[in-house]
Structure 1
Amino acid sequence: MTQAQTAASSGRLSLATILAFACTSLPLSALAIAISVYLPRYFASHIGVELAVVGAVFATVRAIDIPLDPALGMLMDRTRTRWGRYRVWTVIGAPILMLALLMLFQAPAGSGKLYLMGWLLIMYLGTSILSLSHSAWAATLATKYHERSRIFGVMTAVGVLGSVLVLVIPIVLEQRGMTDAQGVQAMGWFIIGLTPIAVGLVVWRTPERITVDVGAKHFNLSDYWALISRPNMIRILLADLCLSLGPGWMAALYLFYFKDARGFSTGQANILLAVYILAGFAGAPSVGWLANKISKHRAVMVTTTGYSIMLMLVGILPQGDLLFATPAMFMAGFLAAGFGVMTRAITADIGDEVRLEGGKERIGLIYALTVLTGKVAGAFSIFLTFTVLARVGYNAKEGALNTPTAIHNLELAYLIGPIVFVMLGGACFIGYKLDAKNHAEVRRQLDERDALYDEAAIIESIAAEPGNVIADKG
């Protein structure tokens, strides 16, 4: 048996296939950094939109956007074309995202809340299409328990590369004497240029197999409720909400905290953020390896605990000392990279469980629900933190002076929120049962059923050809 045949029989994908497929993570991860850390501050400080208004707009857009992801997920799951199911949606999402990014990152001076709100909605539409199709495609590409830890680990590591590349831009431009605003605008151009290249490579190089649907053809409200009320679905949705809210909270306040509370310059803060993100390049596959040793849900609990400890350490280190802060930020980023790896891999396992019992592919919808929790977390973190800081007298304008009380409240908001929610996210997996052994049984039953339906489809196709007759052995 050849090496390729051995890999195929074991369900193991080649590294080249995984790396090509992971390319969508490059622009998506770069965008996540730009949107969560830089764009809100860009509109508040450079464009001139009031701080509380920026937070309210992001929250409003997320609220409007909430029904979009489940609808997209259901549409994707029902899509069947000669080019595939999720591949088509990947192609659709790219130009939508690129247009919105152009309008946001090159926003004219004086743009108001309606301008920000409208283009944010379009941007999140494109982002949702790309991220949902990518995650759902990954779940059908890798079907084995351990292989999913591997593919999502590589996807996250590749995403780290995109994040680091976009973070280098403002650092380099600052050294050349350009403003913070020019750095943010350059970020936008970088992501716009990267998106078609990454998506084109994924569509060209990645195979896709459409799974067989059995059972009822329609998906009504009672089915929807039955899906989200499953114990494992409740676990993953709550965990994903908390594990998105903690880092999202941190990201919203990152530059304010490190500049005003910790005494770092913008360039130093960007270097530390780059260290934090770059650590995920090692952290994501390492956590995937750990999950294959102790199981995915236990790996989540280990990483959340370690992450919280690192955040507390950052808060007590000497102010403005890059040498001391760098190792702590590296370890925090190393551990945080495991959050997304594990929750997406666990979600894929739960999707198999749902398909076995319901007969239909619902992985697009399931990922849509987890994306929805991330959006709710992102909106809540920006709205809450920006609103609180504005009310305690914190001034976000460029060159503004803040009182010691405002700085102290900034420190509390930055540290307490992420630690509390991240630890709650890890606690959601206490008592979780869908480990490698139980998932292997789920996959065995799915593979047997899929093989039967594939065989039936082949026989039906042969019988439909003129002149062919298949005898009834009964």
Structure 2
Amino acid sequence: MNPGASGSSRLSLPTILGFSLSNLPLGALAVAVSVYLPPYFASHLGVSLAVVGSTWMIVRLLDIGVDPVLGLVMDRTRTRIGRYRFWMIVGAPILMLAVYALFQAPAGIGTGYLISWLLIYYLGTSILGLGHSAWGANLSTTYHERSRLFGVVAALGVIGAVVVLLIPIGANAMHRSFAQTVPDMGWFIFWLVPLSMVWMVFRTPERIAPETDHPQFRLRDYWSLLVKPDLLRLFLAQMSLTLGPGWMSALYIFFFTDSRGYTGTEASSLLLVYVLAGILGAPLTARLAQKFSKHRTLMVTTTAYSLGLCMVMVIPKGNVVAAIPVMFWCGFMAAGFDLMIRAMLADVGDEVRLEQGQERISLIYALNSLAGKIASAFAIGVTFPLLGKLGYKAAEGAVNTPAAIRALEWAYIAGPIIFVMLGGACIFGWRLDADRHAQIRRDLDERDALFAEAPILESLSGEPAIAVVGKD
């Protein structure tokens, strides 16, 4: 049996690393699309700030209904190659096509082009993101092991982001312009998608949890998810903790070059420090959660992040050395936001399965991803038009007034702090701790033993498969 196949055993590091590889391109895209692509469209392809901002918002709002449908379908999917493995294979080529269209976009593109390809892009990321999260929740079923698993997943995403950030730094040394660098990022991510999927798809074990009866659509079950207090709290926390850093990312290049006096290369280098910190921050935050619980760890990291962001304005302008520790601190703390929420959602998913007798984990992640999508829409859809209204000019070579620069500074600092602190406050008093989750798992194990089915092939490598259901 493959190490880590059993949900009750400790996953081997090779199993965790192989599973986490597919987060490399998603982490790379998180930085490339939020930090570099909107300014690239605005400054080099001639798309106005208002069009860029409104397009992103329209797409994210149109995309809201996609994830719940995907979640419903994923939870009811059964194929010869598994449930989530199938969807990862489907999502990869969709994402590759969209990455090519966006990062190799020609000059003169209009709103229709952006909306169409952004919709396809977010469809691809939704399939891969939901499939990967739900697969991870079923791959590891214990409270602390989930922190460990999602900590490594987050670290691999950070590594993907780091490599993307190294591209403009290397491009500058090769005398390539920003207009040439963004398409380079696209080609890197385009090929990273299939390469990172191979090991996970062929070698990672997959379990499909047993159900007490035949899957069926019961409206009251889905309504109970929408109004379940723990899921509502995580929904609001996800929205806040996406909007805060997303708001900062959308304004990052403008703020660090026009307000703080850094060159484009220096700004990218400091962003690299911020992201690199996550390689340490993700696993160490996961380790901290194993000692002090996930919700307490999340509250600590959100507070520490906000304090660190306050220091950005204290750093002397253009001083790279002084900025490094502050950027490292903020990046270290931010690395724990998403992994804690994903691990906590997996715990709530076990509670829901115990209550309803059926797997809802894909739908749970789908509903929570709505929060991220809504927040992402506002991160760019509000900040870019707001800067335009306040008189800030994003065009290359434009000269901004002191009042416009001050507006940029207030927007960059105040928005992220408010939303990140709100995200930490959302999970104050959380009760689903390690002891409560251990009891849920014991109840599930006892019930699953009564409904166990025959195992089916779950590996594409030809090795002995793990049981589809069996004991968790």
Q: Into which bin does the TM-score normalised by the smaller protein fall?
A: over 0.9
Q: Secondary structure at the match of 1:67?
A: helix
* Residue matched to 2:276: 278
- Check 1:216–1:84 CA distance in 2 against 1; reply closer, same or farther (3 A cut): closer
What is the aligned counterpart of 2:47 among 49, 58, 64? 49
Q: Judge conservation of contact 1:11–1:143 (CA < 8 Å) in 2.
A: no
* Highest RCO, 1 vs 2 (Cα 8 Å, sep ≥ 6): 2
- Whole-angstrom distance in 1 between the partners of 2:149 and 2:430: 22
- Whole-angstrom distance in 2 between the partners of 1:315 and 1:87: 46
Q: Report matched runs for 1:6-85 at 5 Å.
A: 10-85=8-83
* Residue matched to 2:149: 151
Pair 1:267 & 2:260 matched? no
- Whole-angstrom distance in 2 between the partners of 1:119 and 1:57: 11
Q: Higher mean Cα deviation, 62-71 or 10-19?
A: 10-19
Q: Higher mean Cα deviation, 365-374 or 7-16?
A: 7-16
* Residue matched to 2:159: 161
Q: Judge conservation of contact 2:8–2:141 (CA < 8 Å) in 1.
A: no
- Aligned residues: percent identity? 58
Q: Judge conservation of contact 1:55–1:383 (CA < 8 Å) in 2.
A: yes
Aligned AA (1:111): I
Pair 1:389 & 2:375 matched? no
Deviation at 1:10, TM superposition (A): 4.9
- Check 1:221–1:104 CA distance in 2 against 1; reply closer, same or farther (3 A cut): same
Aligned AA (1:307): Y
What is the aligned counterpart of 1:328 among 314, 326, 344? 326
- Whole-angstrom distance in 1 between the partners of 2:170 and 2:80: 45
- Whole-angstrom distance in 2 between the partners of 1:3 and 1:395: 56
Q: Relative to total residues, which structure has the larger helix share, 1 or 2?
A: 1
* Residue matched to 1:212: 210
Structure 1's unaligned 5+ residue stretches are 460-474
Deviation at 1:247, TM superposition (A): 0.5
* Residue matched to 2:459: none
Deviation at 1:218, TM superposition (A): 2.0
* Residue matched to 1:465: none
- Whole-angstrom distance in 2 between the partners of 1:123 and 1:9: 33
Q: Judge conservation of contact 1:215–1:358 (CA < 8 Å) in 2.
A: no
Ranges of 4+ aligned residues in structure 1 off by more than 6 Å: 2-5
* Residue matched to 1:351: 349
* Residue matched to 1:468: none
- Whole-angstrom distance in 2 between the partners of 1:205 and 1:399: 51
- Whole-angstrom distance in 2 between the partners of 1:237 and 1:301: 15
- Whole-angstrom distance in 2 between the partners of 1:240 and 1:108: 34
- Whole-angstrom distance in 2 between the partners of 1:57 and 1:256: 19
Q: Judge conservation of contact 2:71–2:362 (CA < 8 Å) in 1.
A: yes
Q: Report matched runs for 1:34-433 at 5 Å.
A: 34-215=32-213, 217-433=215-431
* Residue matched to 1:464: none
- Whole-angstrom distance in 2 between the partners of 1:249 and 1:358: 37
- Whole-angstrom distance in 2 between the partners of 1:112 and 1:280: 36
Deviation at 1:4, TM superposition (A): 6.3
Q: Judge conservation of contact 1:55–1:387 (CA < 8 Å) in 2.
A: yes
Aligned AA (1:172): G
Q: Higher mean Cα deviation, 219-228 or 50-59?
A: 219-228
Max radius of gyration: which structure? 1
- Check 1:458–1:71 CA distance in 2 against 1; reply closer, same or farther (3 A cut): closer
Q: Judge conservation of contact 1:153–1:287 (CA < 8 Å) in 2.
A: yes
Q: Secondary structure at the match of 2:80?
A: coil
Aligned AA (1:26): L
- Whole-angstrom distance in 2 between the partners of 1:22 and 1:242: 25
Q: Judge conservation of contact 2:7–2:141 (CA < 8 Å) in 1.
A: no
- Whole-angstrom distance in 2 between the partners of 1:175 and 1:122: 34
Q: Judge conservation of contact 2:7–2:138 (CA < 8 Å) in 1.
A: no
Give the RMSD, CA atoms, in angstroms. 1.6
- Whole-angstrom distance in 1 between the partners of 2:192 and 2:2: 34
What is the aligned counterpart of 1:438 among 436, 439, 442? 436
Tell me the TM-score normalized by structure 1. Answer: 0.94
- Whole-angstrom distance in 2 between the partners of 1:3 and 1:202: 13
- Whole-angstrom distance in 2 between the partners of 1:4 and 1:212: 21
Q: Judge conservation of contact 1:18–1:154 (CA < 8 Å) in 2.
A: yes
Deviation at 1:366, TM superposition (A): 0.6
Aligned AA (1:196): P
Q: How many residues align?
A: 455
Q: Judge conservation of contact 2:7–2:140 (CA < 8 Å) in 1.
A: no
- Check 1:291–1:199 CA distance in 2 against 1; reply closer, same or farther (3 A cut): same
Q: Secondary structure at the match of 1:96?
A: helix
Deviation at 1:423, TM superposition (A): 0.4
- Whole-angstrom distance in 2 between the partners of 1:370 and 1:150: 21
- Whole-angstrom distance in 2 between the partners of 1:216 and 1:39: 45
Deviation at 1:370, TM superposition (A): 1.5
- Whole-angstrom distance in 2 between the partners of 1:248 and 1:292: 27
Which deviations, in whole Å up to 9, do the C-alpha atoms of 1:226-278 show, x marking residues without a partner?
11101101111011111111000000000000001111000000001111001
Tell me the TM-score normalized by structure 2. Answer: 0.94
- Check 1:458–1:89 CA distance in 2 against 1; reply closer, same or farther (3 A cut): closer
Aligned AA (1:361): E
- Whole-angstrom distance in 1 between the partners of 2:451 and 2:221: 23
Q: Judge conservation of contact 1:154–1:285 (CA < 8 Å) in 2.
A: yes
Q: Judge conservation of contact 1:212–1:450 (CA < 8 Å) in 2.
A: yes
Deviation at 1:341, TM superposition (A): 1.1
Deviation at 1:147, TM superposition (A): 0.2
